[in-house]
Amino acid sequence: MDAKKNIPLIVGISIPILMILFVAASIYLPLLFMHTKPEFNFLYVTGDYLLGSQYSVENGKLVKHEFKDDEGRWPSIMRRRGDAKLFVHDVTKNESRQISFEEAQSLDLNSNIKSPDGFEIVHGSRGGGPWPFFGFSETDYNTVYIKGHNISRKLNVQQTERHFGDFHFLGWINN
């Protein structure tokens, strides 16, 4: 076969290969040349299943809300307040450390979605899109990413169970 006849074949085969390379490059290259690195650690809670979170940030401080259900109207999963755990995530080392409520209360917090250096904490996607083969799709919602300045990086956060919404961001820790 002459080269001219092969051009459509070569271009056709190259398109998916180039797209795979482009997708991989768009994910990994910005990480290599990242100019702005996240600086602010953050506080989060896991296993807090109450209707709405029992923890919130008010005036820069962590507050714990009391909840009474003497009549036992709510299902047990909603009342598992004792299982809630607080963590501080170190964005530089990408690791989490569990802390007590008293320790968390002493932190100076910023509950804005975006950190002062322009990053935010987001969940992964909920599904794989309209996948035509075998009906399989997987959700990445339990994976947590730090996103900003055109990059996103997976965070090694602690999660007590594989449960939707187990992770709750509470606030950025002011340095």
Partner 1 sequence: MEKEELLQQIRSFATQKLITKEEISLAYDEGSEHSKAWSFGRKLGIAQILYYVGGAIVFLGISIFVWQTWGTHGIVTKILATLGSGVAAYIVGVLFSRDEKLQTVGSAFYFVSALVMPIGLYVVFDNAGFDAGSYGTQSLISGILFATYLVSYLVFRKDVFTLFSIIFGTWFFFSFTDFIVGGRPHFSDLKFFEYRALAAGLTYILLGYSLAQDKKALAGFLYSFGILGFLGAAFALGGWLPDRNVFWELVFPGLAFGAILSSIYLKSRSFLVFGSLYLMGYILKITHEYFTSGLGWPFALVLAGLMLIVVGYISFYLNKKYISS
Among 60, 116, 118, 127, binds partner 1 (CB under 8 A): 127
Whose tokens are 């979605």? That residue is 113
Among 54, 94, 105, 152, binds partner 1 (CB under 8 A): 152
Residue 34 makes contact with partner 1 by CB under 8 A: no
| Least Å from the CB of residue 174 to partner 1 | 25
The total number of residues written for the chain in this structure: 175
Residue 93 makes contact with partner 1 by CB under 8 A: no
Among 53, 105, 143, 159, binds partner 1 (CB under 8 A): 143
Cα-based distances in Å from 167 to 56, 77, 107, 121, 123: 14, 15, 19, 11, 9
Handedness of CA 74, 77, 83, 89 (dihedral sign): negative
Q: DSSP letter for 52, please.
A: S
Q: Which is nearer to partner 1, 31 or 63 (CB)?
A: 31
| DSSP per-residue letters across 92-137 | TTTEEEEE-HHHHHTS-EE--SB-TTS-EEEE--S---S--STT--
Residue 165 makes contact with partner 1 by CB under 8 A: no
Determine the longest span between alpha carbons in the chain, in angstroms: 84
Among 80, 123, 149, 168, binds partner 1 (CB under 8 A): 123
Residue 128 makes contact with partner 1 by CB under 8 A: yes
**Positions that interact with partner 1 (CB under 8 A):** 5-6, 8-9, 11-13, 15-16, 19-20, 23-24, 26-27, 122-134, 136-141, 143, 145, 147, 150-152, 154
